[in-house]
Amino acid sequence: MREDNQDQRLFEQEGSQGTGGELISRRKLLGGIGAVGAVTAGAWLLGSLGGNLPTVRAMEDKSGEELADCCKMVTIAQLRALTSPETDHVYYVKDRDQEGPFYYDNTDTTSADNTGIILVSTSGARFRRIFDGPAHVKWFGAKGDGTTDDTAAIQLAIDSYSHLYFSPSSYRITDYVFLQDNSRIEGTRASKIFMSTNPDGVNLISAKDKVNVTIDNLWIEGVYGVGNPFPVRGVMEGQGVTLAVYGCRNVVITNCYFTYNGLGSGNVYVSKCKDVVVTNNYLEKSMNGICFDNWYGEDDTPGGTHVENVTVANNVLSDMGGRAIACDLDEAPARNSNIVIVGNTIRGAAYAAIAVNARGVSVVGNIVDGKRDGGITTVGGQQSLPTYYGILSNFDCEYIHIADNVFKEMFMNGVKILNGSNVSIMNNTFDFAVNYLNQNNNQVLDLNEPNNQMICLEWDTNAYIAPYTIRIEGNTIVNDRNPTGVEPIAELIYLKDTTNSEEKAAASFIHVTNNQIRSKKISTAIQYTKSLAQDWGTGKLYITGNTIYSPVKSGTAITAMRLDELHIEGNKINGIAIAIETGMGGLTNFNGNVIRNYNTAYFFYVANLLNEIDQLIVQDTIIGNPGEGSYVFTGTVNNPYIVASSNGAGMKFIDVNVDQIKGTYYPANLVVEGSDSPPTAGRWAVGDRITIQNVTAGGYSGYICTTLGTPGTWKQYGAILA
């Protein structure tokens, strides 16, 4: 849009007031005086800017010809050479891209000439531009031709006026451009600010220790390698970032297009700022996208000591060689706080789509597509692998809420949180990528990467704050990687406590609830583990209402132990080799689970531990052949158990001294292997059996309980021919 057309559009707005206080419609006025007086009328309508301009009523009595006599058409050079200015005239500058009306301000004797809105003549007269809305950056001498170095002109404009407009053009700069307090720069998506070379690795646009900064609707482009669709590693090292904001407060970055930056901190880099909104931007083909950290400034900077109160919303980020959105710093405890990341779309980030270390984080409603079909060299030099992490948080974070996101085509982890406390991961959808495009040979290759963990939480409360409450609820997890050839192993929900503080571990309260899990090949669907140094059973874990399915009958559905209370209730498990695996702990309650198509329904590790399961309650439904693999105990059993099977499924003991079995058992067909004598302790039901370890010809195969009791009545059965 030409600036003179822009001026006329502004003049045509309704309801201006003249210097005499009388209101008149601008459209009525323009219709009365015709095109000749349009610009002059605009000047009088804005007479409140200063000067002795005629009143609106005086204008109504003039003809267009008379109005034209009050307007002098001049160049900037002619105005600067003017020695006898007139206070009742408008001087219309006609220099291309700098057009517009000026008036002589006889009250101003000090203002400096800035080319754009104030011109100073050789006699010292100050002429002030008459305009409404933003000042145009070309008024200050910027050419926008893609060739001229516009750095000085843009900086002059920023220093001269707070609200600037960049018309659709290509503005080349060669050095930093620094924003000021209350700066607002805006344009269109066709208003490009760029660098063609950047040997010193400086940032394009920066704001340092300022308040109230807005960047709106601009195209900001960093340096990129000539002839490369995206620079390979090494081309972009040290090239700085496109927009850097340090130590500022009240920052808005909106509706902009950012592209190309090297191995610097990001397209948008914000350090030690407070009250920041980054929204509705498009960022692509860069090392990092939107980054926040605390590297800059002392504690007394306007932004403070850390990043605080940040909203990153409705942005699109595509083809990032590192991280797409990151609010992190490698320090603990995390000092960033109150971070909201909502409604963004991320298409391909080599390392992490979202990386957050903070206190008070909400990651809601984002779409992360990890598949990248080309364009970026990833970490380690491997080209075009999908995104490693959907969300990564690894330094002592608190109050993290991850909800209603879609993570698809992930390479390694959907969510990985190290040392996070008070975490909720709810109603998200996750799936793994099954192949990728290798740019070295342009072939599509299958992914058979082992050790994938879709939701992974690990914590060490000795070094960091305890997790206290963790909720993993309502998520859908799918692993469709091909189970043939090199078979991928996946621990889909993985929880690991390595603390050595019994008191802190006891405060943990964990829910894994109502998740839908389907995997072609798994190691464990839901796993809770502690370090071997932890012999105590502490904390509470509820695994309830989950559906777990595998078509190849592999791995374990649920494994957990060493807890004060373990509740595995209301789960549906189908097609898993081992449904539930547990061991040492306090109260262990299996209630309302439905298990089918299994090799082993329950596997209990109770060997070589000082403390065993305090109380085991099983009230589940096992569908299928209730064979001897339904219940499997391994090791010495010396605790009270209650096992109440709804359909009489079998129980198998391996290498167990039956005289050490104590407690009450109510399943039908309890089977104990490896004893040459009937039990002398424990309560047994009719039909329970002991198989004889050293069978001989002419002897018997085992003992069977014929009377309920402690230990009941036992008879030999299964005579063996001599």
- One DSSP character per residue, 281-334 reads -EEEEES-SEEEE--S--TTSTT-SS-EEEEEES-EEEEESSEEEEE--S-SS-
Burial class (CB in 10 A: 0-12, 13-18, 19+), 123: exposed
427-482 per-position pLDDT tens digit: 999 999 888 877 667 778 888 777 788 999 988 766 667 777 899 999 999 998 87
Give the full edge-to-edge strand order of the sheet including 90-93: 71-74, 90-93, 100-104, 126-129, 118-120
Beta strands, E only, 394-442: 397-403, 406-410, 413-418, 420-426, 429-432, 435-438
Q: Which residue has the higher pLDDT, 11 or 118?
A: 118
Cβ(251)–Cβ(276) below 8 Å: yes
What confidence score (pLDDT) does residue 655 get? 53
Q: Do β-strands 420-426 and 540-544 pair in parallel, antiparallel, or remain unpaired? A: unpaired
C-alpha 64/C-alpha 192 separation (Å) is 40
pTM of this prediction exceeds 0.85: no
What confidence score (pLDDT) does residue 4 get? 40
Helix axes 3-11, 38-45, angle to 10 degrees: 60
**Cβ atoms within 10 A of the Cβ of 401, count?**
16
**Cβ atoms within 10 A of the Cβ of 533, count?**
8
675, pLDDT greater than 80: no
User: What mean pLDDT, rounded, does the chain reach?
Assistant: 77
Q: Quick one: which of 624, 623, 684 has its CA closest to 653? A: 684
Residues 6 or more apart whose Cβ sits within 8 Å of residue 96:
none
For the chain, give the percent of residues with pLDDT over 90.
39
Q: Which residue has the higher pLDDT, 54 or 179?
A: 179
- Asked which of 1-15, 86-100, 376-390 is least confident by mean pLDDT, the reply is 1-15
Cβ(22)–Cβ(56) below 8 Å: yes
What confidence score (pLDDT) does residue 29 get? 34
Q: Which residue has the higher pLDDT, 228 or 719?
A: 719
- Listed by start position, the domains of the chain span 67-131, 137-660, 671-720
Phi, psi of 379 (to 5 degrees): -60, 145
DSSP 8-class letter at 699: S
Structural element, H or E, at residue 13: none
SS3 content of the chain, % helix, strand, coil (to 5): 10, 40, 50
162-172 per-position pLDDT tens digit: 999 999 999 99
C-alpha 105/C-alpha 110 separation (Å) is 11
**Domain spanning 137-660: CATH 3.40.50:** no
What confidence score (pLDDT) does residue 237 get? 35
Q: Do β-strands 670-672 and 205-208 pair in parallel, antiparallel, or remain unpaired? A: unpaired
C-alpha 176/C-alpha 219 separation (Å) is 16
What band does 31 get if pLDDT is binned at 50, 70 and 90?
Answer: very low
What confidence score (pLDDT) does residue 381 get? 39
313, pLDDT greater than 50: yes
Q: Quick one: which of 623, 560, 546 has its CA closest to 589? A: 560
For the chain, give the percent of residues with pLDDT over 70.
71
Q: List residues bridging with 714 in a β-sheet.
A: 705
369-427 per-position pLDDT tens digit: 988 654 443 333 345 688 889 999 887 788 999 999 999 999 889 999 988 889 999 99
Q: Quick one: which of 387, 470, 474, 384 has its CA closest to 429? A: 474
CA angle 45, 47, 49 (to 5 degrees): 130
Average pLDDT over residues 269-297: 85
C-alpha 643/C-alpha 651 separation (Å) is 9
Q: Which residue has the higher pLDDT, 137 or 553?
A: 137
What confidence score (pLDDT) does residue 440 get? 67
Helix and strand numbers, DSSP H then E, in the chain: 8, 63
Residues 6 or more apart whose Cβ sits within 8 Å of residue 273:
245, 246, 247, 248, 249, 251, 292, 303, 307, 308, 310
What confidence score (pLDDT) does residue 284 get? 87
Cβ(288)–Cβ(267) below 8 Å: yes
